[in-house]
Copies of this chain bind each other. A is one copy, B any other.
Amino acid sequence: MATNEFSEQHRIVYYEADDTDQLTLAKLIDLFVLVSEDQNADLGITTEKIQALGVGWVVTQYHIQIDRLPRTGETVTVKTRATAFNRYFAYREYWLLDATGKQLAYGEGIWVTMSYETRKITTIPDEIMVPYHSDPVTRLPRLPRPDKDDAKATSRVKPYTVRYFDIDHNGHVNNAHYFDWMLDTLPAEFLRHHHATDVRIRFENEVKYGQQVTSAVTQPEITTTQHTVSFGTTTAVRATVQWTD
């Protein structure tokens, strides 16, 4: 495996799955982040070392394509590749494979480093890219964005308050937790009988401890849901999810 690739096995346990025994989308994201953190640690770039530089990795966008979400008890392989980066952005790919090596899901993410002092994007410190032995590029792949909102569509809205356990090392809501808010606006019966096949999500503004957010969903078609998480007039996250039954 190339220096910029890393993989590990993981057994799906019941608390990573929903009541139909399938891995949740939130936990799929968690597994993708886990394998990238383990790759960093394997290369000697621990979270502590990154934080010591006064920055943290923050995701701005994912595109995830799903064939099948694994079930409780399955042992899967999670793989990642730190494919390309430039001064400000890093492009990562992710794979989830079943026990036979068949692809279950494929993900792409665009990451930036955020300064803890200014809470703004910084140039990516050289120290945390050097161990990957890859050269910066000028152009990164572009991920497809969520659809535009249809202002006329009827939306279902639910309020949420950020809990202590939603907060991660970066002092804001962990990116996987948005999926709990986004999907919880859909009825349990819909979630039980549909499978997400494609997720396009953009993280536009961070959300902090104790804030109140609103999770809104519209459903232009039965198999398409359009999500916005916002606080006041600020959009935190927008996403489009495609479903199949």
Contacts and interface: CB of A to CB of B under 8 A. Distances in A.
Contact of A209 (B34, B41, B169, B188): B188
Q: Which of A30, A41, A165, A167 has the most CB of B within 10 A?
A: A165
A180 B163 CA distance: 8
Interface of A: 13-15, 18-19, 24, 26-27, 30, 33-34, 37, 41, 73, 158, 161, 163-165, 167-169, 171, 174, 176, 180, 183-184, 186, 188, 191, 209-210
A77 to B, nearest CB: 16
B18 A165 contact: yes
Contact of A183 (B15, B41, B164): B164
Given A188-B209, A209-B188, A164 B30 contact: no
Contact of A165 (B24, B164, B209): B24
Which 5 residue pairs spanning A and B have beta carbons closest together? A15-B30, A163-B184, A164-B188, A19-B167, A13-B34
Given A188-B209, A209-B188, A164 B18 contact: yes
Contacts of A169: 19
B176 A15 contact: yes
Contacts of A171: 19
A151 B24 CA distance: 41
Contacts of A27: 15
A37 B14 contact: yes
